[in-house]
Chains A and B, each alone.
Chain A
């Protein structure tokens, strides 16, 4: 099945700084999904990308799917303390969804 690697595992930023997490694969991905999990909470769906080179924005969050469909990124502009949590990417079909190990974001004032 499709596998994805996420980097970095952890990032600590000061409020107002930007943050980016990357999801990489050695094979072409059919799609990429991004989820956010707050500390002590459950994963919450953010977005799905399916097209080569696709870029989607949600307020301060920008999601990209690479031209070769082998990588994806989530960029947060001007982080806030409410952005704290772990961001997961996932890929696959309805019966074979595989998640990356996540990037934990810590934001301090």
Chain B
């Protein structure tokens, strides 16, 4: 099992550009999450999904959109990137035991 995978691993964008971060899990988990991690801020929840076709806002959703068209995939979109969105993005899925499995992360820099 690959667990949770994320693509890309690194990306540099210019202000105003758009991009999509891809997350895939092969553990058949219903719950999936997108977090951002900034120095001194811990992990902050952007959006989450409780199942295929459903999404909900987390703590810091502004400037991001998500989609969960297939159970195993959770996509995070930035329509118009801003320097404040420079961060490390983690995707996670959750088991029935409430254990969260994190992907390796995407380091995004917005210039």
Report A's interface with B, CB cutoff 8 A: 9, 31, 33, 35, 41-45, 48, 88, 90, 94-95, 97-102
Tell me how many residues of B have a C-beta within 8 Å of chain A. 24
Complex: A60 Cα to B30 Cα, angstroms: 33
Contacts of B101 in A (CB 8 A): 45
Instruction: Name the one of A42, A97, A102 contacting B105, with C-beta atoms under 8 angstroms.
Output: A42
> Chain B 36-59 against A: per-residue CB contact (8 Å), 1 yes, 0 no?
000011111100101000001001
On whether the beta carbons of B102 and A44 are closer than 8 Å, the reply is: yes
Contacts of A95 in B (CB 8 A): 31, 48, 50, 56
On whether the beta carbons of A48 and B41 are closer than 8 Å, the reply is: no
How far apart are B43's CB and chain A's nearest CB, in angstroms?
4
Closest to B31 in A: A94
Complex: A100 Cα to B40 Cα, angstroms: 10
On whether the beta carbons of B104 and A97 are closer than 8 Å, the reply is: no
Instruction: Name the one of B41, B99, B105 contacting A45, with C-beta atoms under 8 angstroms.
Output: B99
Q: Which of B10-18, B64-72, B90-98 interfaces with chain A?
A: B90-98
On whether the beta carbons of B42 and A48 are closer than 8 Å, the reply is: no
On whether the beta carbons of A101 and B50 are closer than 8 Å, the reply is: no
> Chain B 5-25 against A: per-residue CB contact (8 Å), 1 yes, 0 no?
000000000000000000000
On whether the beta carbons of A94 and B43 are closer than 8 Å, the reply is: no
